[in-house]
Structure 1
Amino acid sequence: MELDKIAATAAAALESDWAHLAVGLFLVWLAANLVRRFVTDRVGDADHRYKLRKAFTFLSYLAAVLVTAAVFSRQLGGLSVAFGVAGAGIAFALQEVIASVAGWLAIMFGGFFKVGDRVQLGGIKGDVIDIGVLRTTVMQIGEWVDADQYNGRIVRVANSFVFKEPVYNYSADFPFLWDEILVPIKYGSDHAFARRLIQSVAEEVVGGYAREAEAAWALVRGRYLTEPAGVEPVVSLVANENWIAFTLRYVVDYKSRRSTKDRLFTRLLEEIDAAGDRVGVAAATLNIEKLAPLEVRLRPAADGQAAAS
C-alpha cells in the first residue's frame, strides 16, 4: 500500500536524520547556555535580566522546533495526512495544555499582568514571580498571615485560568489602594478637635501617597473612561450608641498597607495622649446609671424565721 511505502522510506531516512537532529539540538543548547552566561548574567538590573533570560529561553525553544522541522521535513511532508487525522485527537487530549499556551499569549500580549505585579487569580493572591508558557508562578500572601504579607508558599497556576475567572491586578495601571481605619472617640471629647487631629496625622503620614496617586490617576483617566477620584485623606464621623466613630479614608501604596496602618495608629495615639482630657479613645464598657430603687419587705416565716418577699 502507499502508506506502507511512505513508512518504509521514512524509517530508512531516520538513521541519518536522528544524528543530524542530535547535533542540531546540541548546538541550540550550547548557544542558549553561552548567551545566558555571557549576556544575561552580566545585566545588573534584575527586571531586565529576567526579561532577557525569558526571551532567550523562548528563542531557544523556537530554534529547537525549527531544527526538528528542518531535519524531518521530508518525512513530515509524507506523513501530513496521518498527522492531520491524529491532530484532532491530540488537540482534544491536550486541550488544557493548548488553553494554557493561549493564556500565556494573552498574558504576554494582552496586558493582564507582568512579573512583579500583585494579583489575585481566583482564590490565590500574591506577587507574580514568573510567567511560563504553561503556568504562572505566584508568591502567595495572606491566608494564615494577617494583612498583605508573604506566607512563604509558592503557587503555580495554569495560564488557562485567565479565560475562566476574573484576574484582579492590584498594581497594573494604578499602584495604589484605598484603605480605611476606624478611630473610636468617647463621648464628652472635643469632636471638632479630634477631627482636626486625625486629619493632621493623615496629612503627615499619607499625604505623600495622595500626591503620587493623583498623578497616577490622571494617567488612568487618559486610558479609561473614569470619573475624578478623591485621593486626599478624608475624615468622616458617625455617632452610635457606644462612641463617636471617626473613619479615615486614604490612598496607600499596594505594598505598604500594614506598615502605613502601624504608622497612622502610632502617631494618633501619641497625639491623643498629648491632647490630655480634650480627646479620649473609647472602649467597650458597660455603665449602669439611674438604677431603679429596690424595695425589700420582710414577713414572718412559718417556722419563726424571717423570709424576704
Structure 2
Amino acid sequence: MKSLEFMKQWLEAHPSTAIFIKYLVFVLLIIGFIQFLRRFIRKNLPNSKVKYKSQKGIEVVGYLILIILTLSYFTGNIKDFTLAIGLLSAGIAITLQELILSIAGSMYIFFVKVYKPGDRIEINGIKGDVIDIDSIYTTMMEIGEWVSSDNYSGRIIKLSNAFVFKGPVYNYSMDFPFIWDEFNLPIRYGSDIELAKDIVIKVATENLSEYVAKSIAKWKDVVERYYIEDAKVEPTLAITMTDNWIEFNLRYIVDYKKRRITKHILNELIGKEFEKTNGKVILASTTVEIVRIPMVNINEKGITQTENDNF
C-alpha cells in the first residue's frame, strides 16, 4: 500500500511524466492488439493474397489510430491540433516526395506533351521506346546497352515519372521524326576523287529521296514554331585530308527508327559502285601483314647483318 501511495504522490508531483507513461501504455496496448490480429489472420485465412492484404490493412489502420491518439493526447485545443496536422502533412510530403513528384510528372508529361507512347526517348541515361505511361511510371522497351546501334535489348524498364524534373529528356520523334546521321569513308590517295564524290552523292540522293521530301515539310514547321535556323536536309559530303587517306564524311537525314538499316544499305551500295570503277576509286586501309620475321646475325666484328628482310 505504501508503495502505491508513493507512486501516486510521485506521479502527482511529476504530471508530464505521468502523461507520457499513460501514453506509452495506450501505445503498447494498441500495438499488442495489432500483432494479435495479424497472427490470428495469418493462421486462419487460407488464401495467401487475402492474408497479405488483410495484414497490411490492419497495419495501416493501427498506424492511423496511433497517429490520432498521439495528436489528441499531446494537443490541448483545436489550434494546437491544426498545427499538429500541418506538421504531419509536411512530414508526409517530405517522406513521400518521390511519389508526389511522380504523380506531378505524369500530369506534366500529359499536359505539356513531353513524350507519348510510341516515342523514342532518352531519359536518365536510358534510351528506349515508350510503351506505356501511368500515374507513377513510364514503361520503356530498352534499346542499346550490350547490343549495337538502335536494336532492342529485350529488357522492359519502368522509370519514375519524377525524372522529367531532374534532367533533360531527349525525344527522337516529337515534332520532327527524323535525325541526322553520318559515317566516314577512307579513300586512297591517287584515286579519282571527283568520281568518288559523284558516286557517294548519287547513291545517297537516290536512296534518301523519300526521307528528304518528308523531312522538308516537317522541318519548316519546326522553324516556324521554334527559334531555330533553317538547315539543309539533303545529303552533304565533307572532305578531309589526313596522313593516310582522303576522308569522306557523308551526312544525311533518316527516319529515327531506320538509322541502322539505312547506314547498312548506303555502305553496301557505295562499296559496290566503287568496285565498278576498275581501280579508279579504292578504299584505303591500315591493314599490315607480316610475311616473314627477319633473322639477325652478328659476326665477330660486331657488325649486324639482316637476312630474309621481307615484310
Distance in 1, Cα, partners of 2:213 & 2:196: 24
TM-superposed CA distance for 1:308, in Å, is 2.5
Structure 2 partner of 1:232: 234
Give the TM-score, by structure 2 length.
0.66
Residue 139 of structure 1 contacts residue 153 of structure 1 at CA under 8 Å; is this kept in 2?
yes
Root-mean-square deviation (Å): 2.3
Structure 1 partner of 2:116: 114
Residue 189 of structure 1 contacts residue 280 of structure 1 at CA under 8 Å; is this kept in 2?
yes
1:308 equivalenced with 2:310 (yes/no): no
Distance in 2, Cα, partners of 1:83 & 1:242: 75
TM-superposed CA distance for 1:86, in Å, is 3.7
Structure 2 partner of 1:24: none
1:248 equivalenced with 2:243 (yes/no): no
Distance in 2, Cα, partners of 1:136 & 1:146: 24
Distance in 2, Cα, partners of 1:228 & 1:92: 46
Give the TM-score, by structure 1 length.
0.66
Distance in 1, Cα, partners of 2:96 & 2:288: 65
The alignment covers a number of residue pairs equal to: 217
Distance in 2, Cα, partners of 1:240 & 1:91: 60
The one-letter code matched in structure 2 to 1:281 is L
1:175 equivalenced with 2:177 (yes/no): yes
What per-residue deviation string (whole Å, max 9, x for no partner) do you get for residues 198-230 of structure 1?
000001111221111111101101211111111
Question: Secondary structure, in 3 states, of the residue corresponding to 1:152?
Answer: strand
1:142 equivalenced with 2:144 (yes/no): yes
Structure 2 partner of 1:95: 97
TM-superposed CA distance for 1:307, in Å, is 4.9
Structure 2 partner of 1:66: none
Distance in 1, Cα, partners of 2:201 & 2:160: 45
Distance in 2, Cα, partners of 1:129 & 1:172: 15
Distance in 1, Cα, partners of 2:118 & 2:173: 9
What per-residue deviation string (whole Å, max 9, x for no partner) do you get for residues 32-78 of structure 1?
xxxxxxxxxxxxxxxxxxxxxxxxxxxxxxxxxxxxxxxxxxxxxxx
Distance in 2, Cα, partners of 1:104 & 1:307: 82
Distance in 2, Cα, partners of 1:85 & 1:124: 37
TM-superposed CA distance for 1:181, in Å, is 1.1
Distance in 1, Cα, partners of 2:302 & 2:150: 65
TM-superposed CA distance for 1:108, in Å, is 0.3
Structure 1 partner of 2:168: 166
TM-superposed CA distance for 1:239, in Å, is 1.2
Question: Secondary structure, in 3 states, of the residue corresponding to 2:141?
Answer: strand
Larger radius of gyration: 2
Structure 1 partner of 2:133: 131
The one-letter code matched in structure 2 to 1:162 is V
Change (3 A) 1:85 1:260: same
**Could you tell me which of 276, 281, 284 is aligned with 2:283?**
281
Question: Secondary structure, in 3 states, of the residue corresponding to 2:128?
Answer: strand
Give aligned-pair identity as a percent. 47
Structure 1 segments of 4+ aligned residues over 4 angstroms from their partners = 80-85
What per-residue deviation string (whole Å, max 9, x for no partner) do you get for residues 4-31 of structure 1?
xxxxxxxxxxxxxxxxxxxxxxxxxxxx
Change (3 A) 1:166 1:307: closer
Residue ranges of structure 1 left out of the alignment (5+ in a row): 1-79, 288-296
TM-superposed CA distance for 1:89, in Å, is 2.6
Structure 1 partner of 2:12: none
Structure 1 partner of 2:197: 195
Residue 207 of structure 1 contacts residue 233 of structure 1 at CA under 8 Å; is this kept in 2?
no
